[in-house]
Amino acid sequence: MFLFFSSLKNSSTQAQLNHNTTTGMWMGAASMAGSWVAAGPTIASFMFVWAMIQQYCPQAVLRFFKKYWRRLMNYFHPYIQISIHEFAGERLKRSEAFIAIESYLSKNSSNTAKRLKAEIGKDSTNLVFSMDDHEKVTDEFQGVKVWWVLNRTGSSTNPDNSYPNPDKRYYTLTFHKNHRSLITEPYLKYVLSEGKEIRVRNRQRKLYTNGSGGRWSYSHTMWSHIVFEHPATFDTIGMEAKKKQEIIDDLQTFTSSKDFYARIGKAWKRGYLLYGPPGTGKSTMIAAMANLLNYDIYDLELTAVKNNTELRKLLIETTSKSIIVIEDIDCSLDLTGQRKKKEEKLKDDEKEKPSKESSHKEDESSSKVTLSGLLNFIDGIWSACGGERLIVFTTNYVEKLDPALIRTGRMDKHIELSYCSFESFLVLAKNYLNLETHPLFDQIKELIEDVNITPADVAENLMPKSPKDDLEKRIHKLIQTLQQAKEAAIVEESQEANTAESTTTYLQSQTEGERSSSSSI
Ligand SMILES: Nc1ncnc2c1ncn2[C@@H]1O[C@H](COP(=O)(O)OP(=O)(O)OP(=O)(O)O)[C@@H](O)[C@H]1O
C-alpha cells in the first residue's frame, strides 16, 4: 500500500511540476508514462486488495473507505474537469457553447497548439485557425491557468460513411479546485461572450441550400452550404429612396430589438413577403438584406422536402442571424387558396367511389409538406428556437396565395417590387454608367413612366457588351428599347380596344336579335 501511495504521490508531483512549465500540464507525458509503468504492479495489488475488501467488508466500513478514498484522491489530484460536448442535449443541433468555445480558442490556438486546423475567413482574405483534435491549449484568466483539450472519440463518420457522427467531439476544461468559483462563473461567461463576438467577426457568411445528393448520401434532405459572396447592397438596388430607407429602418430595428421581443413574449423573428413581376429585384433584395445585417441565408427548396417532420428538422438546424428564404412560394407547393377547393372536390369525388386509389392518394399527400406544416414552420413553437431570424417569401402572384400564409404576424411586412420608375433608373444609371445626370435623361423619364419595363431589363440595356459600348451607345440602346416597348404597348392597347369593341357589337346584336324574336312570338 505504502509503495502504491508513494509512487502515486511521485506521479502526482511530477504532474504538478509539469503544470508549472510553460508548455502546460501534458508536456510531461513521457515521464508520466514511465511513472505509471513503475506503479503498474502496485496498482494491480491494490485492485486485488480492494476487491477483497468490497467482498468481505460490511457496508458501513465500505462507506467509510469510499469517503476517505475520495478525499485522498482530491488531495492527490485537486483538479476539476468540465466537458462541453458538441451535440449535448439538443442532438439535432451543434451546442452554442461548443461553437463559442471553438471560436474563443481560435484566438490563442495559433500561438500555443501544435496541430491546427485552418479555415478560410471573412472575405476570403485570411485564414482562421482552430485547434485540431486531441490538441491542448493553455489559457490564463486573472492570473489563474486553465487547460483546454479538444477530444474526439470514434471516427468522424459512421462505418457506412453515410453521415457525420455527431456525438463524438467535446472540449474538456481543467482547472485547480481552488479557483472553482472564478472559472465556473466569470471565466466561462467571458469565454462564451468573447467566443460569440469572435465568431461574428471572423465568420464567412454562408448560403445554405437543402437538397438530396451531395457529399453525404442522406436518406433525408439536409443543409449543405457554400460561401455567400453576393455583392448586392441597398445602394445597388434600383428603388425609390423613401421606400428603400423604410425597409432598411425596419431591418435595423428588428436586429436591435432582442430585449423588446423578449419583453413582449414574441419569438425574435420577422416575416417579409416580397412580391412583384419577374426581374424586379426580389432575389437581389434578399442578398442586400443579408449583407446589411451580416446574416447567413438558408434557401429552402420546399419541393425537396418530403414532409412536415423533415421541414421541422431543417428549421431546427438553422442558426441565429439568418434569413430563411422560400422563393416563388406559389410554385413550390400547392398552397394557394384554390388548393382547398381542389381538396374539397377530391374528397367529394372519393366519397362516391371509396377504393384503393383514394388511399393511395392519401399516402402520397401525407409525404408532402402541407399548408399547416408550413404555417407551423413559420410561427409554431419550434420556430422560436435559434432566435434572430427573418423568413422571406417571394412570389410573382401575391393574389394567388392563401391569406392565412401571408397575414400579419406571419409575413409582417409586404414589399412590392415593381416596374422601373425614373427614380429607380437614376440609381441604376449611377451604378452602371456612373452618371447622375445626362441631357438624354429627360427623354428616358418621359418614356419610362409610360411603359412597364423591369429593372432587370433596364440593367441589361446599360450593361456594356463589347469594349466599343461607350456610355452614349448604352443610353441610346435603352431609349430604343423603351420606344419599342411603348410602341408595343400602343399596339396591344389598340388591339384590346378593338376586341372590346367587337365583343360589345356582338353582344348588342345578340340582344337585338333576342328582342326581335321575342316580339315576333
Ligand atoms: N431593383 C433592382 N435593382 C438593381 N438590379 C436589379 C433590380 N431588379 C433586378 N435587377 C437585376 O436583374 C437581375 C434579376 O433580378 P432578380 O433575380 O433579383 O429578380 P427577381 O424579381 O428575383 O426575379 P424572379 O421573380 O424571376 O426570381 C439581377 O441580377 C439584378 O442585377
Nearest CA to ligand 1 atom 24: 278
Which three cell numbers mark 199?
Answer: 465568431
Whether residues 302 and 240 fall in one domain: yes
Q: What is the rounded CA–CA span in Å between residue 521 and residue 519?
A: 5
Least Cα distance to 418 among 385, 391, 445, 458 occurs for: 458
pLDDT at 515: 65
Whether residues 321 and 402 fall in one domain: yes
Nearest CA to ligand 1 atom 7: 281
pLDDT at 35: 54
* Residue 456, H or E segment: helix 455-462
Instruction: Please give the order of strands across the beta sheet that includes 144-152.
Output: 79-85, 169-176, 144-152, 136-141
pLDDT at 215: 44
For a mutational test of ligand 1's pocket, the pick from 234, 272, 283, i.e. the residue with the most ligand atoms closer than 8 A to its C-beta, is 283
Which three cell numbers mark 291?
Answer: 449583407
Domain limit, last residue, from 159, 176, 204 = 204
Inside any domain, residue 474: yes
Inside any domain, residue 276: yes
Whether residues 380 and 281 fall in one domain: yes
Whether residues 214 and 190 fall in one domain: no
- Report the separation in Å between the CA atom of 507 and the middle of ligand 1, taken as the mean of its atom positions: 44
* Domain of residue 183, residue span: 80-204
**Which is the closest atom of ligand 1 to the Cα of 239?**
1
Whether residues 200 and 263 fall in one domain: no
Nearest CA to ligand 1 atom 26: 278
Helices (H), ranges, 308-379: 308-317, 329-332, 338-352, 356-366, 371-379
**Which is the closest atom of ligand 1 to the Cα of 396?**
25
Whether residues 162 and 269 fall in one domain: no
- Look at the chain and report how many structural domains it folds into: 4
Least Cα distance to 326 among 314, 339, 338, 337 occurs for: 314
Inside any domain, residue 360: no
Domain limit, last residue, from 77, 104, 134 = 77
Inside any domain, residue 262: yes
Domain limit, last residue, from 77, 98, 117 = 77
- Report the separation in Å between the CA atom of 283 and the middle of ligand 1, taken as the mean of its atom positions: 6
- Report the separation in Å between the CA atom of 457 and the middle of ligand 1, taken as the mean of its atom positions: 9
**Which is the closest atom of ligand 1 to the Cα of 327?**
27
If you ran DSSP here, which 8-state letter would residue 401 be given?
Answer: B
Q: What is the rounded CA–CA span in Å between residue 315 and residue 363?
A: 24
Inside any domain, residue 519: no
CATH number (domain holding residue 219):
3.40.50.300
**Which is the closest atom of ligand 1 to the Cα of 274?**
21
Q: How far is CA 411 from the centre of its chain?
A: 18
**Under 8 Å between Cβ of 447 and 421:** no
Whether residues 308 and 436 fall in one domain: no
Inside any domain, residue 479: yes
Whether residues 306 and 455 fall in one domain: no
Cα dist. 433→193, 234, 437, 441, 461 in Å?
A: 45, 18, 10, 12, 11
Least Cα distance to 240 among 455, 433, 391 occurs for: 455
- Report the separation in Å between the CA atom of 302 and the middle of ligand 1, taken as the mean of its atom positions: 21
Tell me the CB-side half-sphere exposure of residue 10, using CA atoms within 13 A.
14
* SS3 category, 267: coil
Q: What is the rounded CA–CA span in Å between residue 307 and residue 315?
A: 13
Nearest CA to ligand 1 atom 5: 237
Which residues have CB under 6 Å of ligand 1? 236-239, 278-284, 396, 417, 428, 455-456, 459
Q: What is the pLDDT along the chain (521 residues), one digit of tens a residue?
A: 433 444 444 444 333 333 333 333 444 444 444 555 566 677 777 777 777 777 777 777 777 777 787 777 777 778 899 999 887 665 566 788 888 898 888 876 666 667 777 766 655 566 667 777 778 888 999 999 999 998 887 654 444 444 445 457 899 999 998 999 999 999 999 999 998 888 777 777 889 998 754 444 445 678 888 888 899 999 999 999 999 999 999 999 999 999 999 999 989 999 999 999 999 999 999 999 999 999 999 999 988 888 888 888 888 888 888 999 999 988 876 654 444 444 454 454 444 444 444 444 444 444 478 888 888 888 877 777 778 999 999 999 998 888 888 888 889 999 999 999 999 999 999 999 999 999 999 999 999 999 999 999 999 999 998 888 889 999 999 999 999 999 988 888 778 777 777 777 767 777 776 666 655 54
- Report the separation in Å between the CA atom of 284 and the middle of ligand 1, taken as the mean of its atom positions: 5
pLDDT at 37: 59
- Report the separation in Å between the CA atom of 279 and the middle of ligand 1, taken as the mean of its atom positions: 4
Nearest CA to ligand 1 atom 14: 279
For a mutational test of ligand 1's pocket, the pick from 236, 239, 284, i.e. the residue with the most ligand atoms closer than 8 A to its C-beta, is 284
Inside any domain, residue 356: no
- Report the separation in Å between the CA atom of 281 and the middle of ligand 1, taken as the mean of its atom positions: 3
Whether residues 94 and 63 fall in one domain: no
Q: What is the rounded CA–CA span in Å between residue 247 and residue 244?
A: 5
Cα dist. 108→86, 119, 130 in Å?
A: 20, 15, 9
Q: What is the 3-state secondary structure (H, E, C) of 163-206?
A: CECHHHEEEEEEEEHHHHHHHHHHHHHHHHHHHHHHHHHHCCCE
- Report the separation in Å between the CA atom of 373 and the middle of ligand 1, taken as the mean of its atom positions: 30
- Report the separation in Å between the CA atom of 280 and the middle of ligand 1, taken as the mean of its atom positions: 5
pLDDT at 447: 94
Whether residues 495 and 447 fall in one domain: yes
pLDDT at 26: 41
pLDDT at 405: 86
Inside any domain, residue 354: no
Q: Residue 86: is it exposed, middle or buried by C-beta count within 10 angstroms (0-12/13-18/19+)?
A: buried
For a mutational test of ligand 1's pocket, the pick from 244, 275, 280, 416, i.e. the residue with the most ligand atoms closer than 8 A to its C-beta, is 280
Nearest CA to ligand 1 atom 25: 278
Whether residues 173 and 261 fall in one domain: no
- Report the separation in Å between the CA atom of 455 and the middle of ligand 1, taken as the mean of its atom positions: 7
Whether residues 184 and 217 fall in one domain: no
